Amino acid sequence: MMLRALARFPGRTAFVWDGGRLTYRGARDLIGRLQAAMAAAGLKKGQTAAFLSANSAETWCAGVAAQALGLVCTWLHPLGALADHLDVIEDAGATALVVDPKSHAGRGGELAAQAADRLAVVLTMGKADFGRDLVAAAEQVGAAEPVDLADADDYAIINYTGGTTGKSKGAIRRHRSSAASVLATAADFELPEVPRYLAAAPITHVSGTKVVPSLLKGGTVHLLKGFEPERFLATIEREKINFTLMVPTMIYVLLDHPRLPQTDLSSLELILYGASPMSPTRLVEGLERIGPVFSQLYGQTECYPVSVLRKADHDTKRPELFASCGFPIASCNVSLRDDDNQEVEPGEAGEICVRAAHAMEQYWRRLEQTAETFKGGWLHTGDIARADERGYLYIVDRKKDMIVSGGFNIFPREVEDVLSAHPDVAMAAVIGVPHDKWGEAVAALIVAKPGTRPEPEALMQHVKDRKGSTHAPKQVEFVDSLPLTAVGKVDKKALRAKYWAGRSRQVG
């Protein structure tokens, strides 16, 4: 699929980055040369290769080259810790490592040394003090037509979860499933006719799921090394970007940035957002200040995508939909189920369970967790939701984040939405903390908007007035920022750690 896309539009620009660009023909030719160099270095079909890079067109091409040679690929998160990278290399059984030294020379050297007993080949995308220079070897090859040695039922990729509940788990897919995910994205997301896609978040994760759909439509992918709001806004204006993907925290930063009002964003047709809940109040602010270009995606490592809240659903006349994660996509069957794996009654909350061709096959080397996740023949997402009469999904919260206080089940998302609606609150995170009488108490960690300092009692009363005393925070703490996971979600595990040190937490 990727090689056909690159062959279809040879003269168009596939990738643009600071200081360079690559045409479709150039990308396809590079893949062929990289394949020849990889084969000469000993890479073979069936091997697993780990990749480490910031957003890079060349390393993306190396990933395509490896998969088309029949290798299984896993992408190390560019912001991950050394221990996490070593865990993934070991768990995936990777015997090859490909590193871009322009962004990860230090970490690449550490991995090459500390995983030397299991890595048969270490390749670098350029000159480095370790490994073999794959780019130099590819240049010496000359011309080489890319080949596709992979079958639809071969394993293609192991995507590792965010690891917020312990060590990351590897979700493995075959090529057939990966292709189904691309087609589902292309079919159900309102991509521009010819995308000019800006990728600031790592394309190793959800941001990368829009690369191939953009290339299938003959578009251009603009790569940034990370999210810097001024550069992000300047790139949209300069390159006439019409499509991007952001997590809610990135949108909040843009809305609070002084340059936003002076930036021409008229080229934007679509801002996809997801990965974590977005404050409905801040979403309205985004619609008013940026325009009717927002669309929410929902999915997870184990199954992506699941649902979409389209641009037309972002209607200020129907604000109740702003709390929804949308309607299931055409190729994903969704069922809300209880703890006994029975479908819940209409209007009741249940766990989102899915069946789809693009779902993972299993957790790699985790038979018990795979069996638990697929109990009853459904993939259990761990997200609790309600559905309205039309079938739109409203995620209440993660099952593991539910607070049990005095026998009442409290979903932090509901409290966070109320707190975020306060005019002085930029971001809010709600967790359960130990309480001798109630088991858990509701605690709120607040990032105030610049120049404001709301009174804790006022925020508690704000929630009490709208949700009742059970949901009202019993303590409020102001922080400069909230810890985020590598994929941009608020790290509830890190927030709870200081309160639960030495104590066990059970979610009923």
Residue whose structure tokens are 């985790």: 366
Residue 134 or 205, more confident: 134
* Per-residue pLDDT at 164 exceeds 50: no
**Could you read off the pLDDT of 430-450 as tens digits, one per residue?**
998 888 667 788 999 999 998
Q: Are 427 and 249 in contact (CB under 8 A)?
A: yes
**Could you read off the pLDDT of 132-158 as tens digits, one per residue?**
999 999 999 989 999 999 999 999 999
Quick check: is 295 in a domain?
Answer: yes
Q: Are residues 322 and 200 in the same domain?
A: yes
State the Cα torsion 63-56-98-483 to the nearest 10°.
-110
* Per-residue pLDDT at 165 exceeds 50: no
Angle, nearest 10°, between helix axes 412-420 and 456-467?
120
Show Cβ contacts of residue 1 under 8 Å, excluding neighbours closer than 6 positions. Answer: 179, 182, 212, 216
Q: Are residues 447 and 490 in the same domain?
A: yes
CATH number of the CATH domain containing 491: 3.30.300.30
Q: What is the pLDDT of residue 108?
A: 98
- Residue 278's SS3 state is coil
**Could you read off the pLDDT of 285-328 as tens digits, one per residue?**
999 999 999 999 999 899 999 999 999 999 988 888 988 999 99
**Could you read off the pLDDT of 226-264 as tens digits, one per residue?**
899 999 999 999 999 999 999 888 898 899 999 999 999
Q: Are 307 and 298 in contact (CB under 8 A)?
A: yes
Q: Are residues 431 and 475 in the same domain?
A: yes
Residue 490 or 44, more confident: 44
Q: Are residues 315 and 353 in the same domain?
A: yes
CA-nearest of 21, 29, 248 to 141 is 29
Q: Does an H or E element contain 187, and which? A: helix 175-188
Q: How many structural domains comprise the chain?
A: 3
**How many angstroms separate the CA atoms of 161 and 168, rounded?**
5
- How far is the CA of 288 from the CAs of 282, 284, 292, 300, in angstroms? 10, 6, 8, 29
Q: What is the pLDDT of residue 329?
A: 97
* Per-residue pLDDT at 402 exceeds 90: no
Alpha-helical runs (H) found in 240-366 = 248-255, 280-289
Quick check: is 71 in a domain?
Answer: yes
Angle, nearest 10°, between helix axes 280-289 and 412-420?
40
Q: What is the pLDDT of residue 166?
A: 53
CATH number of the CATH domain containing 284: 3.40.50.12780
Q: What's the chain's length in residues? A: 508
CATH number of the CATH domain containing 48: 3.40.50.980
Out of 73-82, 168-177, 330-339, pick the least confident. Answer: 73-82
**How many angstroms separate the CA atoms of 446 and 456, rounded?**
10
CB under 8 A, 24+ apart: contacts of 449-452 = 449/256, 449/423, 449/424, 449/425, 450/256, 450/426, 452/423, 452/424
Q: Are residues 208 and 318 in the same domain?
A: yes
- Residue 94's SS3 state is coil
Q: What is the pLDDT of residue 440?
A: 83
**How many angstroms separate the CA atoms of 235 and 201, rounded?**
14
Q: Are residues 408 and 295 in the same domain?
A: no
Quick check: is 506 in a domain?
Answer: no
Residue 452's domain comprises 402-500
What mean pLDDT comes out for the span 7-33? 97
**How many angstroms separate the CA atoms of 27 and 10, rounded?**
9
SS3 breakdown of the chain: % helix, strand, coil, rounded to 5? 35, 25, 40
Q: What is the pLDDT of residue 38?
A: 98
Show Cβ contacts of residue 212 under 8 Å, excluding neighbours closer than 6 positions. Answer: 1, 2, 5, 182
Quick check: is 158 in a domain?
Answer: no
Q: What is the pLDDT of residue 292?
A: 96
**Could you read off the pLDDT of 344-395 as tens digits, one per residue?**
999 999 999 999 999 999 999 999 999 999 999 999 998 889 999 999 999 8
Sign of the alpha-carbon torsion through 378, 384, 388, 389: positive
Q: Are residues 382 and 428 in the same domain?
A: no
* Per-residue pLDDT at 69 exceeds 50: yes
**How many angstroms separate the CA atoms of 444 and 429, rounded?**
6
**Could you read off the pLDDT of 446-501 as tens digits, one per residue?**
999 989 989 999 999 999 888 878 789 999 999 999 988 766 778 888 888 888 76
Residue 278 or 42, more confident: 42
CA angle, 104 as apex, 103 and 106 as ends, to 5°?
Answer: 130
- Residue where one domain finishes, among candidates 398, 428, 462: 398
Quick check: is 106 in a domain?
Answer: yes
Q: Are residues 228 and 111 in the same domain?
A: no
Strand order in the sheet with 132-133: 132-133, 121-124, 96-99, 48-52, 72-75, 155-160, 170-174, 362-363
**How many angstroms separate the CA atoms of 457 and 476, rounded?**
8
Quick check: is 156 in a domain?
Answer: no
For the chain, percent of residues with pLDDT exceeding 70 = 95
- Residue where one domain finishes, among candidates 103, 133, 150: 150
- Residue 272's SS3 state is strand
Q: Are residues 62 and 77 in the same domain?
A: yes
pLDDT band at 85 (very low <50, low <70, confident <90, very high): very high
Out of 26-35, 79-88, 92-101, 209-218, pick the least confident. Answer: 79-88
Sign of the alpha-carbon torsion through 109, 99, 30, 21: negative
- Residue where one domain finishes, among candidates 398, 413, 435: 398
Quick check: is 508 in a domain?
Answer: no
Alpha-helical runs (H) found in 334-411 = 367-373
Q: If you compute the radius of gyration of the chain from its CA atoms, what whole number of angstroms results?
A: 23
Quick check: is 165 in a domain?
Answer: no
Q: Are residues 93 and 203 in the same domain?
A: no
Q: Are residues 314 and 200 in the same domain?
A: yes
Q: Are residues 205 and 272 in the same domain?
A: yes
| Tokens standing for residue 407 | 């026998």
Amino acid 484 reads L
